[in-house]
Structure 1
Amino acid sequence: MKVNTNKVRLSKSQKDAFDFLLNMQNYEQLMPADTKSFEIHESGKGFTVGVGALPKVGMRLKETNKPSQIVFESPAPAFDYTLTINIEAVDENNSDVELDFNGNFNMMIEMMAKGPLTSFIQTISDNLAKI
């Protein structure tokens, strides 16, 4: 299952956008309005969020390619997914950010999760555009 957002423009340099998105505390303000819980992992390299009807979703920092990419992965071995954040410099004060979610789920889970996950990823992107 793939969910890709359109690029959103941030009024931040590529480096500042990368630093902002590498700070897990900043994700709380990007979450949907119906967020029930948001917890940063003890390591500081990931978070778990409970949103609407979705079960809690975890994101663990997998790798970074400074200043252009941040990759999160599932912290649970039972679920195989990644969220890749691509950051492209536009000029010294602006950057474009795109989110790409890629999950390998069985057909039943994909059918149930596609709508809510698509909405979740798109809301993060929409809220990022407001920063």
Structure 2
Amino acid sequence: MKVNTNKVRFSKNQKEAYDFLLDMQNYEQLMPADTKSFEIHESGKGFTVGVGALPKVGMRLKEMNEPSQIVFESPAPAFDYTLTINIDAVDDATSDVQLDFDGKFNMMIEMMAKGPLTSFIQTISENLGKI
């Protein structure tokens, strides 16, 4: 299952956007309005969030390619997914950010999760554009 957002204009240059998106505390302000819980992992390299009807979703830092890409992965072996954040420089004050979610789920889970996950990823992207 793939969910790709449109590029959103972020009011930080590429390096500032990269640093912002590496700070797990900043993700709380990007979450949807119906967020029930948000917890930063003890390591500081990931977070778990409970949103709406979705079960809690965890993200753990997998890869960092400064200043253009951050890759998160599932912290649970039962679920195989990644969230790749691509950051493109626009000028000295702005960047374009795109989120790409790639999950390998069985057909039943994909059918149930596609709508809520798509909405979740798109909301994070939209909220980035409002900062």
TM-score for both structures, normalised by structure 2: 1.00
Identity %: 88
Name the aligned partner's letter for residue 68 of structure 1. Answer: S
Q: Give the structure 1 partner of residue 128 of structure 2.
A: 128
Match of 1:108 in 2: 108
Alpha-carbon shift at residue 116 of structure 1 (Å): 0.2
Specify the code of the residue in structure 1 equivalent to 2:93: N
Residues in 2 aligned to 1:29 and 1:12: alpha-carbon distance in whole angstroms = 16
CA-to-aligned-CA distance 1:4-58 (integer Å, 9 cap, x gap): 0000001111000000000000000000000000000000000000000000000
Give unpaired runs (5+ residues) of structure 1.
none
How far did residue 92 of structure 1 move?
1.1
Structure 2 match to 1:36: 36
Q: Distance in 2 between matches of 1:45 and 1:63?
A: 11
Matched residue count: 131
What CA distance in whole angstroms lies between the structure 2 residues aligned with 1:13 and 1:116?
30
Q: Distance in 1 between matches of 2:23 and 2:74?
A: 18
Cα separation, 1, equivalents of 2:82 and 2:10:
22
Structure 2 gaps of 5+ residues are none
Runs in 1 of length 4+ with deviation above 4 angstroms?
Answer: none
Give the alignment's Cα RMSD to 1 decimal: 0.3
Paired position in structure 1 for 2:10: 10
